[in-house]
Every structure is written in structure tokens, then in C-alpha cells.
């Protein structure tokens, strides 16, 4: 039978959110260079760099000029609306200090606003596109692709495509399973996403209590003080998705309620965990995974993605598998023991390889 293939290039864009600091600028330039080298000098999709207005015209011009093959015109800097980064009034820097009781390197308020931007605001800027690819300034595509990733996603009928899959640290997911159950239903599917263990494996219970004492009551009540849990997450600093995905009622209502709860600010819930939970709870979506070498700051190459060292995650893996030559270097999905874990939990399809 003759099947008709859609050979048009999809209407798509590659997007970043970044800041103009010296370190970030070097990352961004490296990431853009690798993006063009890996596929975009051939396929020429527009690249939208979102920022808060801190880039000067000169910096923008220098970055564009530095792009290979005179392709700088494809890179467009877009300032986001000021209100996108307004934290709720109750969220003060003090909240980060309190978070340091249990997470010594707890991230800043603006980091939390960044996470919120991705789940609450990004889609508004992406309406013209059938697909977008997210990259962070420190996202490096490490090989030349012999295909157009957007074409692959469309041909496979995929709604969301990933590369690396990980496990979130439970101290960045306090109360998240409980809140998600309340919002999305107490399903086996949701439970299967979370790896659980005793509080004492991760943090002294007295320190956890000291931290919880500073939380607003509604959030405090949601935190299980005997068992902690961290979800399996798409490492979403690379993904390709349909922007319209984020207006699916299940997902949009979940994000809205999560935002109202203030858990992103008080408990540092990350956009990766929130997106993964929302996506896996939604019926009828198709997922796919690209297996090209992709990394944050070349960490994959250096084998630094062994997050099985994480106290709760570790107990889910066979000690021998962790010690064997088959180390989880690069991606948890390069690691057979992790794929076995996904299969045992009925989650293999979230990381089904498409290219
Ligand atoms: N405009 C803006 N961008 C931000 C802010 N915080 C982070 N970003 C950008 O959001 C993306 C993700 O931020 P990162 O700090 O790399 O977050 P991460 O990948 O979770 O953490 P790392 O492990 O440090 O890489 C990067 O492209 C950052 O430049 C912010 O406050 N404002
Ligand atoms: Mg990063």
C-alpha cells in the first residue's frame, strides 16, 4: 500500500530562556553553536531566545554574529513580559533561607520563578508553532543528527519527546505526590512514577520538622513526614512538544492548581517533575525518546549522571548493577537496570525510542 508522507517542514521553533551573565552567555553560545552544527544549519528553524530584558543590543549583535554560516538571523531575542517573573508577595528571600535547613544549596527565588515560567507562561509565546524544542543555555547536543527531529516527532505522531530520564530528589518533591493525588486522582499510574523511602534515609527528621514549621499550613499538611518520594522525571531541558499540549484541560487545570498552592516557591517543585506528572496522568498522549548524545555541560561525557547515588533511588537498583561496567553514565535510560525499573512499573512507553 502506498502511504502518503507529509514532507513539509513542520512550523516549529527552538526556544531558550536565559540571562545575560558572563557564564550563561558562554553556555548559550556553546549551546547555539552545537545546535547549528548538529542539525539546524541544515533545517534552519527559528531560534527564540527569551529573556527578561537584560540583553543589550550589542550583546545580541555579538551573539548573532558568532553563529556559524551567517545563520545569526535565525536567532531572535524576545523579552518576556515583566509580570511573568513576579513571585507572589508572600514568597520572600527568607523562604530560600528556610529551605536551606534541609537543602544546603537550595535554589534562589528567581530560579523558582523560572520553573513557574515554564509551566505557566511559556506556552503563551508558542501559539504559532506546531512544535517547539526547548533547550537551556547549558544544553549541549553532542552529535550530528542525520534527520530532522521535528519531522521524526510528527511522523511518529508524538506529543512529547524526551532524551534523558531521571529521578527527582525527594527533598525537591515534598508534598508533591500527595498534592498530585488530590488534583489528578489516586491512580496506580501516578504512584508508579514515585520512588519512596523513609525520611531518615534522606534528612534528619528533626531538620525536616524545623523546615516544615516555617511553611504555610496548607502546604505543611500535605507533606508526609515518615515517607519521602521522588518522581521519575523527564530531564526536560531538552524536549520537543506540541505547544497545544499545555492547554489540555487535565494539564492546564493541574498547573493552575499547583501554582495556586505556591509549592513551586515554598517547596521548590521543579518544572521537570510537574510536566512529567501532568503528562503521564493525561490519557491518550504519545511519548517518544531521542537517543542522540545530549548533555548538560558535557556531564554525560564525564559520566556525572549517576543519580542512583541519591539515597532513595539507590535502593531501587541492584548493587551489582550499579557497580558493573554498565554504569548509568550519561542517561538513566542508557542504564539497563533503570529501564528494567521503568518496565516493572509499567512506564516503558514514556521512554520509547523513536530515533
Ligand atoms: N530569565 C531567566 N532565566 C533563568 C533564570 N534562572 C534560570 N534561568 C534559565 O533557565 C534555564 C534553566 O536554568 P538552570 O539554572 O540551568 O537550571 P537547572 O538546569 O535546573 O540547574 P543547573 O543544574 O544549575 O543547570 C537556563 O537556560 C537559565 O539561564 C532567571 O531567573 N531568569
Ligand atoms: Mg541547567
Q: Provide the grid cell at 37.
A: 552544527
* Ligand 1: residue whose CA is nearest its atom 4: 18
Question: Cα–Cα distance between 56 and 25 in angstroms, integer?
Answer: 12
pLDDT (0 to 100) of residue 315: 85
For 67-76, the pLDDT digits (tens) are 988 999 999 9
pLDDT (0 to 100) of residue 307: 60
Q: Is 30 in the pocket of ligand 1 (CB under 6 A)?
A: no
**Strand 160-162 with 238-241, pairing:** antiparallel
In testing the pocket of ligand 1, which one of 15, 136, 166 has its CB within 8 Å of the most ligand atoms? 136
Instruction: Report how far ligand 2's centroid is from the alpha carbon of 314 (Å).
Output: 23
C-beta separation of 54 from 17 below 8 A: no
The contacts of residue 164 (CB under 8 Å, 6+ apart) are: 234, 235, 238, 294, 300, 305, 330, 331, 332, 333
Q: Is 111 in the pocket of ligand 1 (CB under 6 A)?
A: yes
DSSP letter at 353? B
C-beta separation of 28 from 60 below 8 A: no
Task: Work out the angle at residue 195's Cα, subtended by the Cα atoms of residues 192 and 197, and round it to the nearest 5 degrees.
Answer: 135
The contacts of residue 298 (CB under 8 Å, 6+ apart) are: 140, 142
Question: Cα–Cα distance between 84 and 120 in angstroms, integer?
Answer: 9
For 195-254, the pLDDT digits (tens) are 999 999 899 999 999 999 999 999 999 999 999 999 999 999 999 999 999 999 999 999
Residue closest to 158 by CA, chosen among 342, 290, 19: 290
Question: Cα–Cα distance between 110 and 49 in angstroms, integer?
Answer: 18
C-beta separation of 254 from 280 below 8 A: no
* Sign of the CA dihedral running 279, 281, 287, 289: positive
For 256-292, the pLDDT digits (tens) are 999 999 999 999 999 999 999 999 999 999 999 999 9
The single residue listed with the C-alpha cell 515583566 is 82
The model's pTM: 0.95
Confidence of residue 312 (pLDDT cuts 50, 70, 90): confident
Q: What's the Rg (C-alpha) of the chain?
A: 20
Q: Is 168 in the pocket of ligand 1 (CB under 6 A)?
A: no
Q: Is 296 in the pocket of ligand 1 (CB under 6 A)?
A: yes
Residue closest to 76 by CA, chosen among 89, 54, 61, 66: 61
pLDDT (0 to 100) of residue 4: 56
pLDDT (0 to 100) of residue 2: 46
The contacts of residue 348 (CB under 8 Å, 6+ apart) are: 339, 342
C-alpha to C-alpha distances, 33 to 49, 58, 63, 138, nearest whole angstrom:
14, 19, 10, 12
Q: Is 172 in the pocket of ligand 1 (CB under 6 A)?
A: no
The single residue listed with the C-alpha cell 556531564 is 299
pLDDT (0 to 100) of residue 1: 44
pLDDT (0 to 100) of residue 314: 82
Average pLDDT, rounded, for the chain: 92
In testing the pocket of ligand 1, which one of 19, 29, 239 has its CB within 8 Å of the most ligand atoms? 19
Question: Cα–Cα distance between 240 and 354 in angstroms, integer?
Answer: 12
The contacts of residue 94 (CB under 8 Å, 6+ apart) are: none
Taking each helix axis from N to C terminus, what angle separates 249-261 and 271-281, rounded to the nearest 10 degrees? Answer: 140
The single residue listed with the C-alpha cell 512514577 is 193
Q: Is 19 in the pocket of ligand 1 (CB under 6 A)?
A: yes
> What percent of the chain lies above the pLDDT cut of 70?
93
In testing the pocket of ligand 1, which one of 81, 109, 138, 139 has its CB within 8 Å of the most ligand atoms? 138
Higher pLDDT pick, 204 / 310: 204
Residue closest to 186 by CA, chosen among 195, 175, 177: 177
pLDDT (0 to 100) of residue 344: 95
Q: Provide the grid cell at 154.
A: 510528527
Confidence of residue 298 (pLDDT cuts 50, 70, 90): confident
Report which bound ligand comes closest to the CA of 115: 1
C-beta separation of 233 from 166 below 8 A: yes
Q: Is 126 in the pocket of ligand 1 (CB under 6 A)?
A: no
DSSP letter at 131? E
Question: Cα–Cα distance between 81 and 291 in angstroms, integer?
Answer: 35
The single residue listed with the C-alpha cell 510537574 is 274
- pLDDT of residue 299 exceeding 80, the answer is no
Q: Is 110 in the pocket of ligand 1 (CB under 6 A)?
A: yes
In testing the pocket of ligand 1, which one of 16, 18, 54 has its CB within 8 Å of the most ligand atoms? 18
Length reported for the chain: 355
Question: Cα–Cα distance between 136 and 238 in angstroms, integer?
Answer: 7
- pLDDT of residue 310 exceeding 50, the answer is yes
Amino acid at each position: 500500500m502506498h502511504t502518503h508522507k507529509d514532507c513539509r517542514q513542520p512550523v516549529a521553533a527552538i526556544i531558550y530562556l536565559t540571562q545575560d551573565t558572563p557564564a550563561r552567555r558562554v553556555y548559550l553560545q556553546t549551546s547555539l553553536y552545537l545546535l547549528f552544527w548538529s542539525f539546524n544549519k541544515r533545517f534552519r528553524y527559528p531560534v527564540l531566545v527569551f529573556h527578561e530584558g537584560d540583553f543589550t543590543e550589542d550583546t545580541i549583535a555579538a551573539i548573532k554574529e558568532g553563529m556559524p554560516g551567517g545563520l545569526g538571523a535565525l536567532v531572535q531575542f524576545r523579552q518576556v513580559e515583566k509580570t511573568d517573573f513576579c513571585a507572589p508577595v508572600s514568597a520572600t528571600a527568607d523562604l530560600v533561607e528556610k529551605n536551606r535547613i534541609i537543602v544546603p544549596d537550595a535554589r534562589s527565588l528567581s530560579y523558582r520563578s523560572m520553573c513557574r515560567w515554564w509551566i505557566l507562561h511559556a506556552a503563551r509565546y508558542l501559539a504559532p508553532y506546531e512544535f517547539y524544542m526547548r533547550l537551556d543555555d547549558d544544553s549541549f547536543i553532542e552529535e550530528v543528527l542525520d534527520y530532522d527531529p521535528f519531522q521524526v516527532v510528527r511522523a511518529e505522531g508524538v506529543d512529547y519527546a524526551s532524551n534523558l530520564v531521571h529521578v527527582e530528589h525527594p527533598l525537591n518533591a515534598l508534598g508533591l505526590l500527595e498534592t498530585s493525588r488530590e488534583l489528578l486522582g489516586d491512580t496506580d499510574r501516578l504512584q508508579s512514577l514515585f520512588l519512596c523511602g523513609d525520611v531518615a534515609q534522606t534528612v534528619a527528621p528533626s531538620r525536616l520538622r524545623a523546615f516544615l514549621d516555617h511553611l504555610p499550613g496548607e502546604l505543611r499538611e500535605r507533606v508526609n513526614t515518615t515517607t519521602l518520594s521522588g518522581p521519575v522525571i523527564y530531564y526536560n531541558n531538552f524536549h520537543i512538544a506540541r505547544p497545544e499540549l499545555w492547554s489540555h484541560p487535565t494539564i492546564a487545570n493541574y498547573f493552575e492548581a499547583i501554582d495556586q498552592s505556591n509549592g513551586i516557591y515554598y517547596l521548590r517543585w521543579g518544572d521537570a517533575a510537574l510536566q512529567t506528572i501532568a503528562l503521564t496522568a493525561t490519557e491518550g498522549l504519545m511519548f517518544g525518546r531521542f537517543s542522540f548524545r545530549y548533555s548538560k555541560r558535557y556531564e554525560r561525557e564525564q559520566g556525572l549522571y549517576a543519580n542512583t547515588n541519591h539515597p532513595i533511588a539507590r535502593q531501587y537498583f541492584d548493587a551489582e548493577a550499579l557497580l558493573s561496567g554498565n554504569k548509568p553514565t550519561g542517561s538513566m535510560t542508557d542504564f539497563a537496570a533503570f529501564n528494567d525499573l521503568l518496565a516493572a512499573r509499567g512506564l516503558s512507553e514514556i521512554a520509547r525510542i523513536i530515533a
